[in-house]
């Protein structure tokens, strides 16, 4: 089958996505390292554990998984718009068609989903009850603490408007050089949302936690369940940045965080890629070192130095970095790739642009002549540094096959490479190439 955004999804069966539970989920980069090659996979053990859990325990919507038609996104996650692209369904990966992203705030029902591990009753936009939800703080602290999540509501709340983007967003575009492993996201693994909750630094202050001087990382765990024979999902963040920006988020767009998006409490760090916003937070560990958990290395990392497309790499802490701060980029939302447009008539080109929030977007530039000349587009300045900038430009194209190229430049002088595959990496993370949209004007 071919996905709605043109990605080739023929490599898996979305009806009942066993492969996503089978120890080699789509999108996992095991093949680029030998680290786990020897561990093998005990299929019988997995099937037994799956049977014991039952489909309900895996978070499946109650439906006939043997039905002939693949489920639509509203069947995969209750409450979602039915128009999302279903990449996987058991552990849901849903992509938003660009046309549904053409607003300043992305509504929850169209927001993309990329979960990594199963958890019961999360395939819904309904909130997860916070009653009885405990979060522990451990590691280099004067003494371990346990927090009842309900207490967060009584603390000072802050809100950020921020881009939420899967670091695999745009992965399919790496295929211009060598196809990268994993779910073939096109442009819709992103959204722009309002996130509110309690600053990590405020929580630490309120609880009177004294963090040891040697602690340099915050490692975050969630309550979701590890895949068979896999390490439980977790990520580390640089502690100084976490103390500056991270929130124990409890609301998105003013509502309690839906179960599928990591409620009741998600650790969110504006400017960071989505995977780092650990869902269903259960534990915060203050530690000297970055975790060597499989989900943090080799997964969700990019090489520090340029890699020849197709070349394998064995990641170490020194030759790679975690997918933390988002690269500067823009996405064209309209027209769509391969659209038919009117020749000789004004055509509005629209999109969004963002970076890691550390500096403002200076300009988005558009070229209709293959990069010979570029013109600055109209840019809407958003309310905060981590939000996306909507932009638009009006062009008039002569008849024929044309290319619309768009490039963001931020105030630090960071822009998008003309050929995004220069940042090729085996798992296709952090695509930020110049947008190149082919259209036919007639």
Contacts with a copy of itself by CB under 8 A lie at 305-306, 328, 358-359, 362-363, 365, 371-376, 409, 411-419, 422-423, 432
- Compute the least distance from the CB of residue 17 to a copy of itself, in Å: 35
- Compute the least distance from the CB of residue 143 to a copy of itself, in Å: 27
For 44, the 3-state DSSP assignment is helix
- Compute the least distance from the CB of residue 373 to a copy of itself, in Å: 5
Give dist(CA 279, CA 283) in Å, integer: 11
- CA atoms 427, 272, 112, 385: torsion sign: negative
Sheet holding 85-88, edge to edge: 85-88, 93-95, 113-114
- Compute the least distance from the CB of residue 360 to a copy of itself, in Å: 10
Give whichever of 230 and 402 is closer to a copy of itself, judged by the CB atom: 402
Q: Supply 157's token pair.
A: 């709340």
- Compute the least distance from the CB of residue 39 to a copy of itself, in Å: 28
For 81, the 3-state DSSP assignment is coil
Give dist(CA 57, CA 78) in Å, integer: 16
Strands (E), 64-207: 85-88, 93-95, 113-114, 134-139, 145-148, 158-165, 190-199
Give whichever of 112 and 354 is closer to a copy of itself, judged by the CB atom: 354
- Compute the least distance from the CB of residue 372 to a copy of itself, in Å: 5
Give whichever of 132 and 413 is closer to a copy of itself, judged by the CB atom: 413
- Compute the least distance from the CB of residue 374 to a copy of itself, in Å: 5
- CA atoms 116, 252, 164, 203: torsion sign: negative
Give whichever of 129 and 371 is closer to a copy of itself, judged by the CB atom: 371
Give whichever of 46 and 374 is closer to a copy of itself, judged by the CB atom: 374
For 312, the 3-state DSSP assignment is coil
Give whichever of 373 and 394 is closer to a copy of itself, judged by the CB atom: 373
Give whichever of 226 and 371 is closer to a copy of itself, judged by the CB atom: 371
Give dist(CA 224, CA 280) in Å, integer: 7
DSSP character string of 208-274: T--B-TT--EEEEEESSPPPTTSPPPEEEEEHHHHHHH-EEEEEETTEEPBGGGT-S-EEE-TTB-G
- Compute the least distance from the CB of residue 51 to a copy of itself, in Å: 49
Give whichever of 10 and 372 is closer to a copy of itself, judged by the CB atom: 372
With beta carbons less than 8 A apart as the criterion, state whether 376 and 364 touch.
yes
> What letter would DSSP give residue 41?
-
């Amino acid at each position: 089958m071919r996905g709605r955004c043109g990605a080739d999804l023929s490599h898996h069966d979305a009806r009942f996505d066993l492969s996503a539970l089978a120890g080699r989920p789509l999108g996992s980069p095991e093949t680029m390292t030998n680290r786990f090659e020897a561990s093998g996979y005990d299929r019988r053990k997995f099937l037994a554990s799956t049977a014991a859990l039952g489909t309900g325990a895996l978070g499946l919507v109650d439906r006939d998984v043997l039905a002939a038609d693949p489920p639509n996104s509203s069947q995969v996650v209750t409450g979602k718009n039915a128009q999302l692209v279903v990449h996987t369904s058991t552990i849901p990966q849903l992509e938003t068609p660009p046309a549904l992203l053409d607003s300043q705030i992305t509504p929850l029902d169209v927001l993309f989903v990329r979960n990594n591990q199963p958890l019961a009753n999360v395939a819904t936009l309904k909130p997860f009850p916070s009653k009885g939800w405990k979060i522990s703080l451990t590691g280099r602290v004067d003494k371990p603490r346990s927090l009842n999540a309900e207490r967060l509501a009584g603390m000072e709340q802050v809100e950020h408007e921020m881009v939420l983007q899967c670091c695999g967003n745009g992965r399919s575009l790496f295929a211009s050089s060598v196809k990268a492993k994993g779910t073939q996201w096109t442009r819709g693994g992103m959204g722009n949302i309002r996130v509110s909750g309690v600053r990590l630094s405020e929580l630490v202050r309120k609880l009177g936690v004294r963090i040891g001087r040697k602690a340099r990382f915050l490692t975050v765990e969630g309550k979701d369940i590890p895949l068979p024979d896999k390490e439980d999902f977790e990520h580390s963040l640089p502690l100084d940045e976490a103390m500056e920006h991270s929130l124990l988020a409890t609301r998105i767009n003013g509502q309690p965080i839906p179960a599928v998006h990591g409620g009741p409490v998600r650790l969110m760090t504006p400017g960071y890629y989505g995977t780092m916003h650990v869902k269903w937070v259960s534990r915060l560990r203050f530690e000297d070192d970055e975790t060597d958990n499989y989900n943090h290395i080799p997964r969700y990392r990019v090489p520090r130095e340029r890699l020849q497309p197709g070349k394998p790499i064995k990641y170490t802490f020194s030759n790679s970095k975690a997918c933390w701060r988002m690269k500067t980029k823009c996405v064209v939302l309209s027209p769509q790739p391969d659209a038919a447009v009117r020749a000789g008539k004004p055509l509005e080109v629209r999109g969004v642009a963002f970076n890691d929030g550390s500096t403002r977007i200076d300009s988005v530039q558009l070229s209709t002549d293959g990069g010979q000349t570029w013109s600055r587009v109209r840019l809407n300045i958003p309310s905060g540094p981590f939000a996306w900038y909507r932009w638009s430009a009006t062009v008039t194209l002569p008849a024929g096959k044309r290319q619309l190229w768009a490039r963001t430049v931020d105030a630090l002088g960071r822009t998008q490479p003309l050929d995004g595959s220069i940042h090729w990496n085996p798992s296709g993370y952090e695509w930020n190439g110049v947008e190149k949209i082919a259209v036919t004007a007639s």
